[in-house]
Structure 1
């Protein structure tokens, strides 16, 4: 790909000069990070006592993942984390978000701790701190131990206690150095895609399993928060993350599409947030949730679902356009694909719509007693091509600039938004899509594991290294090149 790409309209691209804001506009305490997840990058799937996860199992199913790909090696972060953290430091990041693999720490999900697995995260935290990168730990990012899935997994109410116990194992070992914690990553995705649609692990397609898993995840995000708070220092910040999309009706003003949009919003954007605030499930918009309450809700659960988080992680990639559908009884709604609407879209088929970040920050900030917000994931996948030792990803650079502009817009409107984490630092295993979509600021050759900083990563480095200037061409600030062996852009 070159800067003269044609998959997005020319008007989308900012001018070649830097945007009309600087790092300094975000304030001195803003968190600048990138995010990653254990199964997507670590590899080392059977080393040093690690047990199997539901994703190890799911990727063995024929047709489950494009091209039959898997995360057994991934980007070999388990062995190459020092290299990747050097890149993060050289890029000027101040924070690095990662998850701990549950079966690496507790191979059976409960019981005996795998000390060698826990030692890895101990070393990883120290490696972050040595590079002045604040570590943000996600307790659960979708890799449930296979041993727990054999007992029902998220459809078994016992998972609430299993998750809390696992969180405390991490807190005991890492809590003296890790100040930022997230309980769950995008619960609506792992319960919806994994238990209703069947396109993610564990690959179930059953409404009852979905409702059970959703309720237990709601309880677990609160119970996990309490488990962490019981052990961590008072200065620790405990949050959780939510997937979200700005939703608009296919036909504005059309009664059925407007109602479908409200139902979709209740399911996709409100389901896990409102119980934590003590508002309960959005049953008025989703009457099917009465079945959840009848079958899985127990006395006292209304209180157990509540937790006073210090921050919410907002994870937004796009907006969705919603229309009424008589064939989907849970929400009576369907999403109209971006391709069908003829709008610019990414390799994931998601509409390029950076304004969605602003709209979702505004929606979540509007809740009474809403905590601080952090954009814990934001990014775009495009068909990167390495040529002449470089990757000129103009589309991603433009997306990054536009996304940051929307975050700054929210801050200027008075919203308490404390950080931005790009998804992701390096290209990685993108779940059911395999290694096709590339989200990274750093290109990975999956055959050789060579890293190449993309033009978006170089732009981000320049933006972060000139806190008081208009950009690399400004008079203030200093240039900070990637140290050897990254100065040429690549490392094996």
Structure 2
């Protein structure tokens, strides 16, 4: 059965999402360098050492992209504003060109009847602040708060909703412990500090925006379904530890004012001074909504060869996978939507702020046929519908991504978009999945 807009509650928001560094073209408009420019220029970090200097050139082409959104019957656009575009040095002198760009972008969305959903930070740390330790620096929350006030003064009053941070697990753990994203560290002390400071920055932004009267504030967390490989207690512990680091750390700090014991087993000796006080003063405060990003599951087992915490390893699952090698497991989306409602946020509005798949899409005779993505979208819409029926207050879904774009360490190799981008010519070609969504979102 093909689900359509009519299968969801009245007023349910359907949108698509992107992020600044991945689509804008960072070389334009006076933006300052970011730690992604440094990371990508270091051999071995990014496919073909590609960066976001040009990306999809949305800096100049946003009008055409928003026309695609409107023609596709979407209601909203989730985008991020770049700290380094607004403040090229991360602090100090404001780049007026950057502010004016986001002003124009906002107007262009509203002129088309599209609701703007802003994310304040989607991974592009200004290089000048990265030089000072970035997310490991104890002053980072104040620097972030200053940036937030500057961009909010320009466009905040026109935003449908504002998210502070996108995917803090990626910002902190993936980037400082696993080393897979900028700044590319593998340092548990840096990780513990980043895991805490990113939440303190979230809290600082919330406090400053609340003082301005904003009442549409949230955060976007990513979740990964963690399953134990066997009933063996060691495998069960490996899965519980992974779940604590990935899925529980951030939401429990925000909603309960605590960090999970399974994660503190590794992080406790490395936490920054005063972290307990920060939980009370900055982090544990109400949200207006919660964004849920979900892509896949991982199966965890104890690693007998590991010499240090967290002593786990991934086991290959049995489901079909995407171009990223991620298992397609829509049951996990239902799990997290109901889990958030039942255990953490109650009736707070939820949004699926990212869900999508990468595939090796090709243009053939002027068209892109991607039935795998269409099936992926339908199966995850079904999971959302079940979660609503089971009591989750889900109010919207944003497909990731509107465009094929710069996929971080994967460069331009992996394509998540419902619109194909030729990275030589920058020509946009809506895929079959775009046309499917256009049809199912039509207001009959």
TM-score, normalised with respect to structure 1? 0.87
| Residues 1:358 and 2:334 aligned together | yes
Following superposition of structure 1 onto structure 2, how do residues 338-377 of structure 1 map, counting pairs within 5 Å? 341-370=317-346, 371-377=348-354
CA shift digits 1:425-460 (9 cap, x unpaired): 010010000111100000011111111110000000
| Residues 1:30 and 2:12 aligned together | yes
SS in 2 for 1:169: helix
Of residues 274-283 and 157-166 in structure 1, the stretch that sits farther from structure 2 once superposed is 274-283
How far apart are 1:343 and its partner, in Å?
2.8
Match of 1:130 in 2: 111
How far apart are 1:349 and its partner, in Å?
0.7
Aligned-residue CA RMSD in angstroms?
1.4
Equivalent-residue separation in structure 2 for 1:342 and 1:270 (angstroms): 25
Equivalent-residue separation in structure 1 for 2:247 and 2:97 (angstroms): 38
How far apart are 1:285 and its partner, in Å?
5.5
How far apart are 1:278 and its partner, in Å?
2.9
How far apart are 1:299 and its partner, in Å?
5.6
How far apart are 1:223 and its partner, in Å?
1.4
Match of 2:437 in 1: 460
Conserved in 2, the CA contact under 8 Å of 1:212 and 1:296?
no
Following superposition of structure 1 onto structure 2, how do residues 51-200 of structure 1 map, counting pairs within 5 Å? 51-200=32-181
Equivalent-residue separation in structure 1 for 2:404 and 2:187 (angstroms): 32
Match of 2:256 in 1: 278
How far apart are 1:58 and its partner, in Å?
1.1
Equivalent-residue separation in structure 2 for 1:431 and 1:452 (angstroms): 22
CA shift digits 1:81-120 (9 cap, x unpaired): 0010000111011010000111110011111211110110
Equivalent-residue separation in structure 2 for 1:76 and 1:285 (angstroms): 40
How far apart are 1:215 and its partner, in Å?
0.9
Residue of structure 2 aligned with 1:399, choices 376, 379, 403: 376
| Residues 1:315 and 2:284 aligned together | no
| Residues 1:324 and 2:302 aligned together | yes
Alpha-carbon spacing, 1:398–1:66, altered in 2? closer, same or farther (3 Å): same
TM-score, normalised with respect to structure 2? 0.96
Alpha-carbon spacing, 1:369–1:75, altered in 2? closer, same or farther (3 Å): closer
Match of 1:488 in 2: none
Conserved in 1, the CA contact under 8 Å of 2:24 and 2:59?
yes
Conserved in 2, the CA contact under 8 Å of 1:59 and 1:65?
yes
Match of 1:471 in 2: none
CA shift digits 1:358-377 (9 cap, x unpaired): 01111211224443211000
How far apart are 1:298 and its partner, in Å?
4.1
SS in 1 for 2:204: helix
Residue of structure 2 aligned with 1:425, choices 377, 385, 402: 402
Conserved in 1, the CA contact under 8 Å of 2:81 and 2:121?
yes
Alpha-carbon spacing, 1:328–1:119, altered in 2? closer, same or farther (3 Å): farther
CA shift digits 1:459-486 (9 cap, x unpaired): 0000000x4xxxxxxxxx2xxxxxxxxx
| Residues 1:333 and 2:312 aligned together | yes
Equivalent-residue separation in structure 2 for 1:368 and 1:402 (angstroms): 25
Conserved in 2, the CA contact under 8 Å of 1:263 and 1:286?
no
SS in 1 for 2:343: coil
How far apart are 1:157 and its partner, in Å?
1.0
Equivalent-residue separation in structure 1 for 2:257 and 2:309 (angstroms): 20
Equivalent-residue separation in structure 1 for 2:353 and 2:389 (angstroms): 19
Q: Which has the higher helix share?
A: 2
Conserved in 2, the CA contact under 8 Å of 1:426 and 1:439?
yes
Q: Which has the larger radius of gyration?
A: 1
Where in structure 1 are there 5+ consecutive unaligned residues?
A: 1-17, 468-476, 478-492
CA shift digits 1:194-248 (9 cap, x unpaired): 1112121111121111111111012111111112222244xx4100011111111
Alpha-carbon spacing, 1:328–1:135, altered in 2? closer, same or farther (3 Å): farther
Residue correspondences, number = 441
Equivalent-residue separation in structure 1 for 2:421 and 2:186 (angstroms): 34
How far apart are 1:395 and its partner, in Å?
0.2
How far apart are 1:331 and its partner, in Å?
2.4
How far apart are 1:286 and its partner, in Å?
4.0
